[in-house]
A and B are shown apart, each in its own frame.
Chain A
């Protein structure tokens, strides 16, 4: 009986130690003194979005300089990682850093990031894109030293966020000039984003684009790889003024490949912008 109790306690303590180890792997916060926070209520869908802006290290110290801006979807999860990596990578390549804009959750991400309605919790993409275009971007470019040129704006999204980036590329291409799309859910609604791109291709294919597509090699659930490849082929075959790169991250699945692809996407952007 005593042995049994000791063994139970041993296992529980081991489990707690492992839980602490796992817990300690939380992402380190981006420098709070370089982070501005505010909220915006969307006039289109009524949702309140928490916005964080990560500033370059020497922001505001010298003569007014216009910075490029990266709009990060799922910002509540990815802002710190993206902001820290932008700082490191821009330093490495001796390039000017960017403003990193985190867009927090207003409505459910499955509502905001999906372009068409296939259930009660999808289809808010058009309203969300309208909010970004008419409220968020104007406010960022009014209140911060952000370059207002399309080519200086980047959108970064993963999974449904990647789908939303592909949707923005297809239907409102004048908004962003750079797309970092990671494991995009192109399969959504019978590849509707590819159909939208096809519909609008004539008007956007000659415009300059920088597009990085990333995915995990082990995303083998029967929906991710073929549409991803189809999207890449379309961009490769039809777009004339494009910086295009794709990356399949070895040994990793949908969530595991996210951070490595963010790093590779940012590297590609800073090298080729």
Chain B
């Protein structure tokens, strides 16, 4: 049920994004604003798992034509930053590295641009926990995990000068539907929807 609520929320966010993108005539916007060929957009963000992960990311976008865009998204996530010592369980380290590439389209408006990408890449997660309960034996466990990562990304750029504000949302899809079409499998995905805010730089 929780997953269904997340899903509904995501759909509404995407619908809203599409609607916002269409407030102004794209044709008119393009007449005043040239297509940005190449941008770099460093950002910070959180995941939707109650905001306990901190993300440092960068999106590099290349738009060779009006409607066709390519992107590379890299991020370093410090996971579970607010709960590193819980019930005698210490998190020694917990981070993820993500690298994804995507293809998509961009719609241009008067003061903003909206891009939608299908992203594919990998995610590496590394963490260690130690149980330090004084009444029990000390036990540590370290886990490293390399997973495929694919999903949908929405990116909004606001402002038309060299520097602009940028907002991104990434909805990871893996392991659905590769491992199973059961909605329960998307538990991790729904906790890892990324919301990122930053400042972009127009290179070309």
Interface residues of A (CB under 8 A from B): 3-4, 7-8, 11-12, 15, 18-19, 21-22, 25, 27, 187-191, 194-195, 198, 216-218, 220-223, 225-230, 233-234, 248, 250-256, 258-260
Contact = CB atoms under 8 A, between A and B. Distances in A.
Interface of B: 3-4, 7, 11, 14-15, 18-19, 22, 49, 52, 79-80, 83-84, 86-89, 91, 94, 125, 127, 129-131, 133, 135-137, 139-141, 143, 145, 147-148, 174-175, 179-188, 191
A195 B131 CA distance: 13
A251 B135 contact: no
Top 6 A-B residue pairs of the complex, sorted by shortest distance between their CB atoms: A253-B188, A255-B187, A226-B129, A226-B131, A230-B139, A229-B141
Contacts of B15: 8, 11-12, 15
A18 B87 contact: no
A251 B86 contact: no
Given A25-B182, A230-B137, A251-B148, 17 more contacts: A19-B11, A25-B181, A190-B87, A191-B131, A195-B135, A220-B127, A221-B80, A222-B84, A222-B86, A222-B94, A226-B130, A229-B131, A230-B136, A230-B139, A250-B147, A251-B145, A252-B185
Contact of B191 (A187, A253, A260): A253
A195 to B, nearest CB: 6
B11 A18 contact: yes
A255 B3 contact: yes
Nearest to A21: B181
Contacts of B148: 251
Contact of B131 (A4, A230, A251): A230
A252 to B, nearest CB: 7
A22 B145 CA distance: 27
Q: Specify the main secondary structure of chain B where it touches its partner.
A: mixed
Contacts of A221: 49, 52, 80, 83
Contacts of A217: 143, 145
B187 A251 contact: no
A136 to B, nearest CB: 27
A256 B186 CA distance: 7
A74 B11 CA distance: 29
Nearest to A4: B22
Nearest to B80: A222
Contact of B89 (A21, A189, A227): A227
A214 B169 CA distance: 32
A223 B182 contact: no
A64 B169 CA distance: 61
Contacts of A225: 127, 129, 141, 143
A25 B11 contact: no
A125 B62 CA distance: 58
B176 to A, nearest CB: 9
A230 to B, nearest CB: 4
B38 to A, nearest CB: 27
Contacts of A230: 131, 136-137, 139
